[in-house]
Structure 1
Amino acid sequence: MTIIKTNNLTKKFGKFTALNQVNLEVNEGEVYGFIGPNGAGKSTTIRLLLGMMKATEGEAKIFGLDAWKDAVDIHKRIAYVPGDVHLWPNLTGGEVIDLFIKLRGDGNKSRREEMIERFKLDPSKKCRTYSKGNRQKVALVAAFASDADLYILDEPTSGLDPLMERVFQECVIAAKNDGKSILLSSHILSEVEKLCDRVGIIREGKMIETGTLGDLRHLTRTNLLVETKLPIIGLSELKGVYSIEVKNRTFSFQVDSEYLDSIVRHVSQFGIVRLESAPPTLEDLFMRHYEGVGGAF
């Protein structure tokens, strides 16, 4: 079952096109990683999905409902965490959590207490005293304490320390195991790699790749480190070999995955003493997409 579906979603601000015919699909029970550098269009897409803005062209549907016209009904079933949480300064963290939970009408006190404990949050403090990380914790506790069908998370771990990032990841996995759907927008590639079933890469307002991590591996290269008895000859002439570095008789280089078999056959002639292969990471994939584009992550 499809939970989120956009069809040629376009948003223009005057002459500037922030989103250009974005097609996105998130299925029930999956974690979908939505990645791209800052300014690529991730947050604009999420604002359109949440009904905060109206699309210039195209459509966005959540649970089969129109994201703009049916926003009130949709919001009853979703939990949203932005990347920069702004809270009421005179309320305590606990009061804000209770308010968010009551707005959704599905309060679960034991779940609330469990999440506060797991995220190590002091709910008695006024929000104006919270650091950025603690403000994120308030939003995350409120989200995961509610029984939402869809979690929309826009750079949710911004400001969290590594220990809390791990707690967040455990909460996402638990939600997925309960059959919930998660749209995770992030530029932290290791996070996406650990959690996501499928990934969509957006650049300058356009979707440039979508698929499982396995599907996207063809876009990048495997890292090989080879030590041989004899010096390897002719490596640089082989198709699909890049970035060769040599130290004594140890060669490190990158290989396009489709040429891996022929390249290993070639180097084996020289007597392999050691062979290390590192699978391509999402970071490798991401960097290749953005080579020469500029733009900070």
Structure 2
Amino acid sequence: MRAVLCLSFCLVVPLLWATSSTAAADEERDGWSAAPLGTDRPYFYAEGTPGTVLQDTLSVRNPTDRVLDVRLSGGSWVTLAAPEVDVPARTRADVPFTVRIPDGTPPGDRTATITARASGRTETVRVQLRVGGPRLPALTVEHVRVRGDRIAYELVNRGTTDLTPTLTVRADGVLGPLLDRPARTLPVRLPPGERVALTEPWPGRPEFDAVDVRLTVTAADGTVRAEAGTSARFVPWGGVAGGAGALVAGGALMAVRRLGRRRGHEQPCGHEELAEQLTGAMK
């Protein structure tokens, strides 16, 4: 029995040693790395204003026993000293690069990357940039329109800082307010120069009315304010027969406007009274 155990141990130990040796060899063969030169920085970090050219160095380490052919690439702001470098065995190659912040870039944080490829493996090093300059908030609301039971609009960040806008919606018909929503924070974050298309639901939208819609958007703790609106005419075309019916409906809508103006500051009438007035106006 002891002979069998000894034989098994003698077979297993060389097998384990061979496996660990193979793993070590694989690690030795593919254990190259790319990182910022110098102290143990996890990524590159730089600050500058638009037009500034920043410099730093990428270090590629090759612990293997053969020459390592490394291909390098960077983002649109990054220019490497060489697109490819041969790193001798058991040494390193230091590759300088520059980062140019384009003119007109708004202040804020930006991220770029440098990619190194060798031996079928890819290493990516992050370049974190902080662009300086005056932080000026500015916002516009544009292209307001009513589409079915929704109010569509666009927000544009025309400043130099990120914005989280707040929206207020109001709609007035001929006889008074139809929609009056208090300010609420929108679930969007607008970076400088960003444009976003949004819609606001309008359940219970009137079927027959002339409506003025106004959107008010604020941001940056209320220091930025923008307004825009549109007009909409709601006519129940499905219940109107032919062109003559359309003219009658249009005339009735105009009559409603006249009635609204004539009433001035009087209290809005009820549905039954409105129906009687509309009938009289259309005769």
TM over 0.5: no
Q: Which has the larger strand fraction?
A: 2
Larger Rg: 2
Q: Which has the larger helix fraction?
A: 1
Q: TM-score, normalised by structure 2?
A: 0.25
Higher relative contact order (CA closer than 8 Å, sequence separation 6+):
1
